[in-house]
Every structure is written in C-alpha cells, then in structure tokens.
Amino acid sequence: MMLNFLPALTLAAALAAGPALAQTLPQTTSQAPQPAPYVSPDGYRDQRPLPTLDPNDPKSRDAWLQARGEAYRRAPDSAQTEQELRTTQALNDEIAAQNALADKADEAARLEHDAAVARYQVELRQTQERARAEAEATRAAQNQYDRDYAAWRDQVQRCQSGDRSACAAPAPRPR
C-alpha cells in the first residue's frame, strides 16, 4: 500500500516545486528581440533634412525651395499677358486694401485698449484713495473710542476708590 502512495506523493511534490524551480533556473531559451512599436511620421512635415542653401546659386535656392514644398518661381512681367498682369495687379491691390483695413482695425483696437487701461488706472487710484480715507476714518474713530473708554475706566476706578464726585458725574459719551 505504501508503494502506491509514494509515486503520488512524488508527483505532487514535483508539481508544487515546479514554478519555484522555474523561477530560480536561468533562462536557457533565447528570445528574439521585440521590434520597437510603430511610430507614424509627422504628416505635416517632411522628415528629410533640407539641403544647404547658397543664396547666390539659383539651383541651390530652387532645390531648397522644392525640398520645403515650394516650387513657385515668379515669371518675369514680359512672360505674362496683359490679362495676367491686370489680374495680378487687381489681386495685389485687394490684398493691400485688406492689409490697410487690418492695420486700421489693429490701431483702433490698440487705442481702445490704451483708453481702457487709462480708465482702469483712474478707477484704481480712486478706489485706493477711498480705501485710504476709509481706513483713516476708521483709525480716528477707534482712537476716539479708546480715549472715551479710558476716561470711563478712569471714572469707574475713581468712583470705586471713594471719590463721590466721580460717581455723580455722567459717564463720558461716545461720539
């Protein structure tokens, strides 16, 4: 009977010790390195470095502009038709008018802001002066109260010490 029990006990001990034994043994299997997670490139900016710009070389300038996504080159006026020149001039005039309007709006906003700041400064000074005057009035009233209270305490002390004239005199009245 003992023989049947021994293999079962050995099997149970091996199963119980298995996880602990696996933690203490060194890893013998080599795992493949995990690839870095995919990060999408910034869709708003070309990731390539810009070529060097030589301002005196038109080809260098064109390559630099094209790398930035700008391939526009202004055609000389002689290569444009009269209609293109009129259209260009009309667009330029419209843009200049919009810019002048925006400048006027900015100036008006700046003047309004400056006026608002000046009004605020005046109101702030008035509020500070009013607060100072109120604090001074409160301080003067407190000083008067302290003097009246001290006079009353003095009169009470004289009355308690036996001075009958102090007992008959009216108590000082606060103002």
Single-letter amino acid code for the residue at 100:
A
pLDDT tens, position by position, 78-107:
888 889 889 989 999 999 999 999 999 999
* 3-class DSSP state of 111: helix
Q: pLDDT-derived band of residue 115, with 50, 70 and 90 as boundaries?
A: very high
Check if the beta carbon of residue 33 is closer than 8 Å to that of residue 10: no
Q: pLDDT-derived band of residue 125, with 50, 70 and 90 as boundaries?
A: very high
Average pLDDT over every residue of 138-158: 94
Residues 6+ apart with CB under 8 A from 175: 144, 148
CB atoms within 10 A of CB 88: 13
164 vs 143, more confident: 143
Instruction: Give the per-residue pLDDT at 67.
Output: 74
Going by the DSSP 8-state scheme, the letter that residue 38 receives in this structure is P
Average pLDDT over every residue of 44-54: 68
pLDDT at 38 over 60: yes
Instruction: Give the per-residue pLDDT at 104.
Output: 96
50 vs 146, more confident: 146
Longest dimension (CA), the chain: 122
Instruction: Give the per-residue pLDDT at 1.
Output: 47
Instruction: Provide the mean pLDDT of the chain.
Output: 81
Instruction: Give the per-residue pLDDT at 65.
Output: 74
Q: Which two tokens stand for residue 119?
A: 């009004």
pLDDT at 31 over 50: yes
Distances (CA, A) of 95 to 2, 27, 73, 92, 150: 104, 72, 20, 5, 81
